[in-house]
Amino acid sequence: MRARRFLCLAGFMTPLLLAPPGCAQSAASPPSPPIPDIHQLLREVQDHQKAMEKVRENYTYSSMQTTQDIDAKGQVTQTKSEQGEDFFVNGHVIERTVKKNGQPLDDHDQQKETERVTKLVEKAQKTPPDQPLEGQTIRVSRLLDIMDVRNPRRENWRGRPAIVIDFVGRKNAQTHGLAEDASKKLSGTIWIDEADRQVAHLEVMFNDNFKVAGGLFASVQKGSHFRFDQELVNGEIWLPTGAEGTVDARLLLVKNLRQHFIESDYDYKRFHVEAQETKGGKPVADKKP
């Protein structure tokens, strides 16, 4: 986790008249408003997240994912990349791959990708927004439902006031599906934009090993960690801007896997979807607002 700032320390050891000018100004400034009630704040975050879901379905953006395989000595053995076109259906993000390792998909792979995205869109239309699609990560609003939260404080995040909260998964939380089960093994910190009540930054780490199928299939190792970022786009909508993480895992009891990934999201556009194109999962971009 990032280090905290400790400002005006000299002012605590000397009389006010001897304190640096910046400390004197801080002492004279009006006090900050109290931290909002943490549970009420989280309810507002969830409400705002749900309210944004309809607006998000008017947007598409591009994503670039780079994945590095790392050996036991910490050396990169393989690097892969995928470029995608992302959009939302019924609150779920859908990603259509358009390039792999810098090369456009050939005709055969394009057809397979269209079929995959079409099925995913149809499934998204039938899946409630508060439930993750198969193979997708847990939504932030759902993550907050199954966490114990503590230590609220106020910081600036990228020039905007934010409420910062630490959290840890509740072992007795009622969960559904692999992603939610894994979330009970997480701890981390969340930065909530104070004005918009939106998640601006999230850092999480596995505080225990998480076994898939009792460990026979895979086990995600303690210490695997991730971060996630969102920003306000066009003064209207909060959208993902990137993610990064390192995963240590053991597959089929015999193979150790360590991967580092970086995702960048960019080129946000409004779009409309024709009925036939929705079925095929291809949004049509309008001009930028």
Could you identify the residue written with the tokens 């990137």?
242
pLDDT of residue 33: 83
Calpha distance 75→174 (Å, rounded) = 40
pLDDT of residue 205: 92
pLDDT of residue 132: 67
* Number of neighbours of residue 259 by Cβ within 10 angstroms: 16
pLDDT of residue 43: 85
Calpha distance 123→93 (Å, rounded) = 12
Residue 90 and residue 129 in contact, taking contact as beta carbons nearer than 8 Å: yes
pLDDT of residue 14: 27
pLDDT of residue 262: 96
- Low-confidence residues of the chain: pLDDT under 70: 1-30, 132-144, 176-179, 211-218, 252-255, 272-289
pLDDT of residue 50: 80
- Which CA distances in Å does 219 have to 98, 184, 213, 261? 31, 15, 9, 18
Among residues 188, 171, 191, the alpha carbon closest in space to that of 180 is found at 171
Torsion of CA 214, 220, 222, 226, to 10 degrees: -140
pLDDT of residue 153: 95
Tokens of residue 116, six digits: 């995959």
Calpha distance 268→288 (Å, rounded) = 8
Calpha distance 138→165 (Å, rounded) = 19
Residue 259 and residue 67 in contact, taking contact as beta carbons nearer than 8 Å: yes
Buried b (16+ CB within 10 A) or exposed e, 169-207: beeeeebeeebbbbbbbbbbbbbbbbebbbbbbbbbbbe
Q: Spell out the domain ranges in the chain.
A: 37-285
- Give 154-200 as a DSSP string: EEEETTEEEEEEEEEE-TT----SHHHHHHTTEEEEEEEETTTTEEE
